[in-house]
Structure 1
């Protein structure tokens, strides 16, 4: 029910490169050695559901589950008795289409599938042993299913315990729905979720399970309700942090920053209202994050004022000057992404109107980001940005140099065939454009 945001590079994925995924174990789940279709045949023969671990070889949480959850003796005993289990590299060969059929969009995803191929439950995200066992027992009929809980809810729509269980199971249930049926359930559950929050607010909702419900079901589309949730947490932040830790403070700051950034980029002066909240209403949340040498309010004011001026007035010179001040004051708080994002905003807000000196600044910022960045995809992003600026400066030799560096960097994505191919094709097109411009 969520997901968004622009990234300058042509592919945006959450990833970490890691070694081979497959492993053997003697006490955990015994995985079937064969294809998906062969596993379905075996499931029919033994009249058992199919358990499928959809993974990607680069996915660290996938590997963690494989090593710390699937290998547990209790997990293995239960799954080996009740399911035919299969691991599929979802980015390889025919598995790509199989993953699409079961709406696998992120990793890890584990699915329980009937012998006839119908999805029984699809669960996205890392799970610990207890969560995986609960999902398995629901499919096996040893725990209450989503449908049973929904019937209990309809029989007594004031039972908040039933509602909590229902909402905790909602994401995996929705993942298995399709088309109009999925839309119908999203509408129902959003209404239930909002009523549930209102019924438990302000203090009965302060617990780990309800925080998990908020994280999974609170989207960005309904800004009014998002604001309500942020204020709800903020009004009792001490209690929230006592129950959950620092995460609720970060939730408040992130949500407020996103609202301020969206308004600033839209040229809406109301972004200032959210900047003022940094030192007033949300001061405690921002203080939890902690900065050195600059206050959260000073940081926010510098950045969002600069952003507003750039997008609203197209004042590139003012933006560059303001960001230089921002960088000097942020010092030890700066990350590679801060420089990279500053350069991206130049491209996004001014584009073709950037002057040669602006491209030189963008190159400087992108190179600083590149020098501090280890993540392959981000490095490719910054190299492409630098190449684009050199192309606009008509320094085609340097543009080619950075495009080639970006291409070479993609070779490190050896276990990520699909994103690697997409990036390489895009870079080849940029190199071909350079050849045309040189003629």
Structure 2
């Protein structure tokens, strides 16, 4: 309850700064308005039941810097993917998850598509990239990489820029790096980023190395984020196989690592397994 109350206070204080001004008509109408205004179009494709959509609406969309930049540089549209022209837009642009963010230039051409909730910093970086691609470090790094011989050091330099800018392409190029050079050195900052983005099996030797190194626990947000990644990956596999045993095995394996973290009111392993089971069987 305390966390909910604090989140509400944060929401109220941030809301006073304003929010992105969204159109609520059709995509065709918004594209016409953007063309007339000679501005790019930003589209938030959402669903009313989508948790990450609500989270982004209550945080990134009301961030003062994001609000100022998007209202000055974009025409913006909120599009319910399940109503009016939403289903048609979903089909036309291959959208299968909420939220999905679409960016069109002033001529109505799709120039970027981002899947999943974004933090304010990510939203601002993507907006700046669309408005002025030549001045964006990711754009420059991409041009450099595409012109290179694509050796390991070339890909590594590009991944570093993507990681530094929290770019949505990081997962793609981190996966490419890991596929080509799987013997990652977790003491190398860039290869550690590759690991965090591309390795999802908690049983892999690299995961065991990461989890067993107590130095990594100091960055609790990153450490718990990786454990959450393992939980979500295993959950999807377990649901597909209809096997709670997979989840139970994972909890037993990862619980000692949760105990290393400063988690208030962490339940016992047995209680945690029961909780995970109740969620799994829903």
RMSD over aligned CA atoms reads 4.4
* Aligned mate of 1:241, from 206, 217, 239: 217
SS at match of 2:114: strand
Distance in 2, matches of 1:72 and 1:287, equals 34
Counterpart of 1:191 in structure 2 is: 176
Q: Which residue of 1 aligns with 2:90?
A: 99
Does residue 140 of structure 1 match 2:125?
Answer: no
Counterparts of 1:257 and 1:88, CA distance in 2: 30
Q: Which has the higher contact order (CA 8 A, sep 6+)?
A: 2
In the alignment of these two chains, the number of paired residues is 252
1:16 matched residue in structure 2: none
Please give the per-residue CA displacement for 1:263-300, whole angstroms capped at 9, x wherever unaligned. Answer: 997xxxxx9xx969x67xx78436548663x6xxxxxx
Tell me the SS of whatever aligns to 1:240.
helix
Distance (whole Å) between structure 1 residues aligned to residue 188 and residue 20 of structure 2: 39
- Mind listing any 5+ residue stretches in structure 1 that lack a counterpart? 1-23, 176-185, 266-270, 295-329, 342-368, 370-377, 379-439
> Any idea what SS the aligned residue of 1:91 has?
coil
Give the TM-score normalised by the residue count of structure 1: 0.46
1:16-415 aligned within 5 A: 27-141=18-132, 142-145=135-138, 148-154=140-146, 155=148, 157=151, 158-159=153-154, 160-166=156-162, 172=168, 190-195=175-180, 198=183, 201-205=185-189, 210=194, 213-214=197-198, 218=199, 227-234=204-211, 236-243=212-219, 244-249=222-227, 284-285=256-257, 287-288=259-260, 292=268, 330=270, 332-333=271-272, 335=274, 338=277, 378=282
Counterpart CA distance in 2 for 1:207 and 1:174 is 12
Assess if the C-alpha contact under 8 Å between 2:186 and 2:195 holds in 1. no
Greater Cα radius of gyration, structure 1 or 2: 1
Three-state SS of the structure 2 residue aligned to 1:103 is coil
Q: Distance in 2 between matches of 1:42 and 1:339?
A: 49
Q: What is the TM-score with the length of structure 2 in the denominator?
A: 0.68
Q: Report if aligned partners of 2:23, 2:30 keep a CA contact under 8 Å in 1.
A: yes
For structure 2, which runs of at least 5 residues remain unmatched after alignment? Answer: 1-14
Equivalent position SS for 1:53: strand
Task: Note the C-alpha offset of 1:166.
Answer: 3.7
Output one character per residue of 1:176-218: Cα deviation in whole Å (capped at 9) or x when no partner: xxxxxxxxxx6x76332444664x512124899556523xxx4
